[in-house]
């Protein structure tokens, strides 16, 4: 009789433990960005921030407004059109970059075309990449390198129009960006939902890089 009671107790604990694990997973998914398909493919922690990226060649903000509408012509106050959501998605520091207003991701095709995509699933196609490394030649600026197209860089001309990523040389102003602290501060002060850090925030992007030269 005692053996049967013990077995029932053990089985009950196993069932309750399984229910708690499933509930925790559902809660984590419900807190994620429903338009960001990348999240469901990640098993590690992720973090996000709202900021503006200023291209050094045009001295204006990077904007992602649609499939073909990617430029570095943003001006004025840090409006939603100029603000970007940067999300660190793995321990190696790879990020996705999404327009706060358009909800389009910054992507690069195998041919070097810089484009926007509303939806993108990792590992489904090698013809387009929407994950980037933020390589820093110094503590003030960085470039954006597609994780699988390491010979390419995102870059813009002086008038803010985009260059083919295959033709952007490293360490040149055309492919260098700065994060603006004023833009991040603006998002926080206006209560932007996208600017709220995740509960698992372990951001690998050093806020010291926000200092303007």
Report the pLDDT value the prediction gives residue 176, as an integer from 0 to 100. Answer: 95
User: What percent of the chain is helix, strand and coil (3-state, nearest 5)?
Assistant: 25, 25, 50
- The C-alpha atoms of residue 62 and residue 135 are separated, in whole angstroms, by 17
| pLDDT tens for each residue of 133-172 | 999 877 789 999 999 898 999 999 999 999 999 999 988 9
Residue 211 confidence (pLDDT): 37
3-state secondary structure of 15: helix
A 10 A CB-CB count for 53 gives 24
pLDDT tens figures, 7-50: 666 666 666 656 654 544 444 333 333 333 333 333 345 688 89
Is the pLDDT at 183 greater than 70? The verdict is yes
Task: Return the residue matching tokens 């933020």.
Answer: 134
Q: How far apart are CA 96 and CA 49, in angstroms?
A: 11
Over residues 72-92, the pLDDT tens digits come to 999 877 788 999 999 998 777
Q: Please give the pLDDT value at position 141.
A: 92
Q: Is 164 exposed, middle or buried (0-12, 13-18, 19+ CB in 10 A)?
A: middle
pLDDT at 139 (0 to 100): 76
pTM of the model: 0.66
């Amino acid at each position: 009789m005692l053996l049967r009671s013990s077995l029932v107790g053990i089985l009950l604990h196993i069932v309750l433990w399984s229910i708690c694990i499933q509930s925790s997973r559902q809660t984590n998914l419900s807190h994620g960005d429903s338009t960001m398909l990348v999240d469901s493919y990640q098993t590690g922690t992720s973090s996000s921030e709202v900021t503006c990226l200023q291209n050094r060649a045009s001295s204006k903000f990077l904007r992602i407004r649609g499939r073909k509408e990617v430029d570095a012509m943003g001006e004025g106050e840090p409006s939603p059109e100029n603000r970007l959501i940067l999300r660190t998605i793995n321990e190696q520091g790879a990020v996705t970059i999404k327009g706060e207003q358009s909800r389009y991701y910054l992507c690069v095709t195998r041919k070097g075309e810089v484009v926007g995509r509303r939806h993108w699933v990792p590992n489904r196609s090698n013809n387009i990449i929407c994950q980037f490394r933020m390589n820093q030649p110094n503590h003030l600026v960085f470039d954006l390198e597609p994780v699988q197209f390491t010979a390419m860089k995102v870059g813009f001309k002086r008038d803010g129009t985009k260059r083919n990523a295959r033709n952007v040389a490293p360490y040149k102003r055309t492919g260098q960006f700065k994060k603006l602290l004023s833009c991040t501060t603006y998002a926080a002060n206006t209560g932007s939902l996208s600017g709220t850090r995740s509960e698992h925030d372990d951001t690998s992007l050093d806020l010291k890089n926000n200092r303007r030269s």
